[in-house]
Amino acid sequence: MKKIIFPKPLKKGAKIAVISPAGAVDASQLEKGIEMIKNRGFEPVIGEHLYSKFSNGYSYAGTEEERLKDMNWALNDNEISAIWASRGGYGCQHLVQHLKLKKFTENPKWYIGYSDNTVIQSYLLNKGFASIHGQTIKTSSFGVTDESYDMIFDVLKGKMPKYALKSHAFNKQGNIEGELVGGNLALIYALLGTKYSFDFRNKILFIEDIGENFYALDRMIMSLELAGVFGKIKGLIVGGMTNMGDEKENKSYEESFDEFAYKLISERISKYKFPVVFGFPNGHIKDNRPLIIGGNVKLQVKDKVKIEF
């Protein structure tokens, strides 16, 4: 089994690159997050095309060439100690064939993001590098808890997360340990059958999503089933399922854990014996706590749930 490399903890004053690998952002949407990096004692370094815009059926943060330039700069500049995506959206798949890691392998750094950034994180893990599946610099319409950011900075400083959760009716009990893979379900699904897909064998899989009709959610879960994913993994963690089904705006944080979406998933995996956790606080939700993609997880699912890296 390949040994996963964890970047070194950041020291005070370390430089954090802020880039936009996918959807477009306005400066006003990032002001709070960039100021937060400064207030934590680090130096934000703005990508050349952070605020660029390019419309081609979607509002991208620049052309593919512009976004790729910023990504490869951030990955390979030895002065940069971590890379924080401004947002997700769509566009990371454009870049993945052209990523360069020559200097990155000599000086690995944390990559932070979620949603569409799952593509980059799968790529990095296939190369043997861990990353942080956590909140982007742009805060969502439903906001972000202070703790969500606090815990990302903890990881950057070398402190791995631990979680204790209340039980969920759909949970399946068990006690296992393994490497964590996954992220946004739509992107896990989109990468199936490509060389950029996660390796699922003997892994613990995490999934979350937003804005999918229930039939689309079922189609993605069925694709994982048909690809043999559920026969390979040793555990499953299900995070936020937000604005699912009729896609009406959620009225509360708790509704981000869509019960009908959970029921669909639970039914599809009912024949498997691995432990399952529903309601993990990560995804397109206000309380978006970080997970380490590539991290070794101890997972205990009983009357209560314990997750420890």
Among candidate residues 86, 115, 140, 148, the one labeled active-site is: 115
The yes-or-no answer on residue 168 being catalytic is no
SS3 276: strand
> What tokens does 257 get?
């854990």
Residue 49 annotated in active site: no
Verify whether residue 284 is a known catalytic residue: yes
Active-site option among 49, 86, 122, 208: 208
Q: Considering 49, 133, 168, 284, which one is annotated as catalytic? A: 284
Beta bridge partners of 305: 165, 301
Reading the block at residue 125, the tokens are 């893990």
3-class secondary structure, 235? strand
> Quick one: CA torsion of 46, 127, 217, 222, rounded to 10 degrees?
170
Nearest-angstrom CA–CA distance, 166 and 143: 23
Residues carrying an active site annotation: 115, 208, 284
